[in-house]
Amino acid sequence: MNKPEAILERNLFAPETLTDPFSYYRAVHDAGMKIEHLPEMNTFVVYSYELCSEANTKPDVFSNDFSSLMGREEDAEIMAILEEGWPDEPTLLTADAPVHTRNRKLVNLAFSAPRVNAIESEMRTKSIELIKTFADKGECEFVEEFAIPLPVYMIAGQIGLDNDPKQVKDWSDAAVDRFSQMVDHERKKDCARSLVEYQHYMKGKIDDRRENGGDDLLADLVNARVDGEKPLTDAEIMSIMQQFMVAGNETTTSTLAGGLLQLMRNPEQMEKAKAAAGGRDPKLIGNLVEEALRYETPTAGMWRVVREDTQLGDTEIPKGSTLQLRYAAANRDPAKFEDPDAFDIERKNARAHLAFGKGPHMCVGNMLSRKEMLVAFDELLERLDDFAIADEDAIAVLPNILLRGVTRLPITFSKAR
Ligand code: HEM
């Protein structure tokens, strides 16, 4: 359909829209525009909840094999660096059936409810430890001092990198930059070096778990066996572990920071959340997590490659196009969520959000991150009081085509009781 006049001049991928896309989404929904065609990018952006969900039921038509989208690495210098490591194979997020199905069966074993429950007390201990580092100061930069270190620490421990969370963050950032394709040649070389360094490190850890076993996600994955399926290869494990590092870090950070920001902006919601914290109403804190996920949607969009001529809603989509499922817009679709721009921790259908995607690729880490955020909010809201934004102008948001989130949030507070 034609672009509505109200947003004719605006472009979703302009940095100012990516930083604050919500008025754009509102205009799109008000105009009934479910899909936008961007011919210059050969892309169709899907804004509607219904059509994002429908596309996820057709993985054969809308493929996750983005490697074909990115093209093969052709730069000789970068290829020479990558040859020092293992092949960077499509797995899990970037694979289609049957590879995806096989990977997912094995990975599901490692992400079981017992594993998540087993690390709940560790999540709580770490959350409390972090809060104690700044509780007496009355102020902190929430992203740097809490929202980054908690998920980085948790995932580092689970993939055998507990001694060096900073290393995890560096490797994870390099993988994001490489994938974004928006960095210069020098940084691309650095990212390739970082990948190879990570692979060699991981190889040692994989060999160790194979020989000695262990009580972490890596050991579960190395030893995961499903009847009739081959175990995962070293290259597959490296690639999957890299996805855990990347997918589990920035997204959880953004939801924690974005959720706290919305609570501070909506004092009546903050009051309800504080009344529920400290184990008094874990269901409501769980729903706060769902609403924060819906409202912030850190994985704002995800690519699909269109494998055959097809139709989605009323739109004809030719083979060879790319689709961008705009989960962040779908989560503000008034056809699904009443008064979608209101932040309401008691929203009845908050959990229906698409922040974790839907269908075969739905986030495998969803139970882990949900639990982590529940524990974090439970402890933060119980131990601290009088939260306030220290400096509105200092709040920073990362504009990125796929990931969006608050990257700086200076706050003040007092110690509870
Ligand atoms: C707030 C936290 C998180 C958010 C918002 C999030 C979001 C998402 C989304 C939207 C997808 C689906 C992508 C698609 O449609 O193609 C996804 C997949 C995935 N996520 Fe998460 N994620 C989070 C946390 C985690 C954690 C903690 C881990 C692991 C430790 C993780 C690992 C993965 C993996 C491996 C996939 C690919 C699954 C597959 O293709 O079968 N995520 N995530």
Domain limits for position 32: 5-415
pLDDT value at 73 more than 80? no
Give the whole-number percent of the chain exceeding pLDDT 90: 72
Among the ranges given (89-93, 120-124, 299-303, 411-415), the one the predictor scored with the smallest mean pLDDT = 89-93
Q: Whose CA is nearest to atom 6 of ligand 1?
A: 356
| pLDDT confidence of residue 168 | 85
**Any ligand 1 atom below 6 A from CB of 368:** yes
| pLDDT confidence of residue 245 | 87
pLDDT value at 317 more than 80? yes
Calculate mean pLDDT across residues 384-402: 93
Distance (Å) from CA 254 to ligand 1 centroid: 13
* Cα 375 to Cα 262: distance, rounded to the nearest angstrom: 18
| pLDDT confidence of residue 66 | 81
Instruction: Kindly report the CATH number assigned to the domain that includes residue 86.
Output: 1.10.630.10
Collapse the DSSP code of 219 into the 3-class scheme (helix H, G, I; strand E, B; otherwise coil) and give the result: helix
Residue 10's pLDDT band, with cuts at 50, 70 and 90, is confident
* Cα 369 to Cα 375: distance, rounded to the nearest angstrom: 10
Ordered DSSP codes for 150-193: HHHHHHHHHTT-TT-HHHHHHHHHHHHHHHHT-S-HHHHHHHHH
Residue 227's pLDDT band, with cuts at 50, 70 and 90, is confident
* Cα 258 to Cα 308: distance, rounded to the nearest angstrom: 38
Distance (Å) from CA 86 to ligand 1 centroid: 23
Among the ranges given (54-63, 83-92, 221-230, 323-332), the one the predictor scored with the smallest mean pLDDT = 221-230
Q: Which of 63, 406, 44, 43 is nearest to 254 (CA)?
A: 406
Ordered DSSP codes for 109-153: HHT-HHHHHHTHHHHHHHHHHHHHHHTTTSEEEHIIIIITHHHHH
**Any ligand 1 atom below 6 A from CB of 355:** yes
Calculate mean pLDDT across residues 144-171: 86
| pLDDT confidence of residue 72 | 64
In the block, tokens 């079981």 appear at: 112
pLDDT value at 385 more than 90? yes
Q: Whose CA is nearest to atom 3 of ligand 1?
A: 251
Q: Whose CA is nearest to atom 40 of ligand 1?
A: 93
* Cα 271 to Cα 289: distance, rounded to the nearest angstrom: 15
**Any ligand 1 atom below 6 A from CB of 221:** no
CB-facing half-sphere around the CA of 272: CA atoms within 13 A: 16
Give the whole-number percent of the chain exceeding pLDDT 70: 95
Please, are residues 45 and 38 in contact by the beta-carbon 8 Å criterion?
yes
* Cα 114 to Cα 125: distance, rounded to the nearest angstrom: 18
User: Taken in order 37, 39, 40, 42, is the CA torsion positive or negative?
Assistant: positive
Q: Which of 143, 151, 137 is nearest to 410 (CA)?
A: 143
| pLDDT confidence of residue 68 | 64
**Any ligand 1 atom below 6 A from CB of 94:** no
Residue 115's pLDDT band, with cuts at 50, 70 and 90, is confident
The crossing angle, in degrees rounded to 10, of helices 165-180 and 234-265 is: 90
Calculate mean pLDDT across residues 112-133: 92
Among the ranges given (55-69, 156-170, 362-376), the one the predictor scored with the smallest mean pLDDT = 156-170
pLDDT value at 258 more than 90? yes
**Any ligand 1 atom below 6 A from CB of 127:** no
Residue 166's pLDDT band, with cuts at 50, 70 and 90, is confident
Please, are residues 101 and 112 in contact by the beta-carbon 8 Å criterion?
no
Query: Tokens for 107?
Result: 């990975």
**Any ligand 1 atom below 6 A from CB of 262:** no
Total tally of structural domains belonging to the chain: 1
| pLDDT confidence of residue 180 | 67
pLDDT value at 408 more than 90? yes
| pLDDT confidence of residue 173 | 87
DSSP 403: B
* Cα 304 to Cα 282: distance, rounded to the nearest angstrom: 36
Mean of pLDDT over the chain? 92
**Any ligand 1 atom below 6 A from CB of 64:** yes
Collapse the DSSP code of 287 into the 3-class scheme (helix H, G, I; strand E, B; otherwise coil) and give the result: helix
Calculate mean pLDDT across residues 204-209: 94
pLDDT value at 162 more than 80? no
* Cα 87 to Cα 39: distance, rounded to the nearest angstrom: 33
Residue 1's pLDDT band, with cuts at 50, 70 and 90, is low
Q: Pick 325 or 110 by higher pLDDT.
A: 325
Among the ranges given (70-84, 147-161, 336-350), the one the predictor scored with the smallest mean pLDDT = 70-84
At 59-72, the pLDDT tens digits run 999 999 987 666 56
Distance (Å) from CA 240 to ligand 1 centroid: 11
Q: Which of 286, 288, 299 is nearest to 343 (CA)?
A: 288
The amino acid present at 414, given as its one-letter code, is S
Residue 254's pLDDT band, with cuts at 50, 70 and 90, is very high
| pLDDT confidence of residue 113 | 85
Q: Whose CA is nearest to atom 39 of ligand 1?
A: 361
The pTM is what?
Answer: 0.94
| pLDDT confidence of residue 352 | 98
Calculate mean pLDDT across residues 227-256: 89
| pLDDT confidence of residue 224 | 84
Q: Which of 24, 22, 20 is nearest to 395 (CA)?
A: 20
Mutate to test the pocket of ligand 1, among 155, 363, 402 (most ligand atoms within 8 A of CB): 363
At 338-349, the pLDDT tens digits run 999 999 999 999
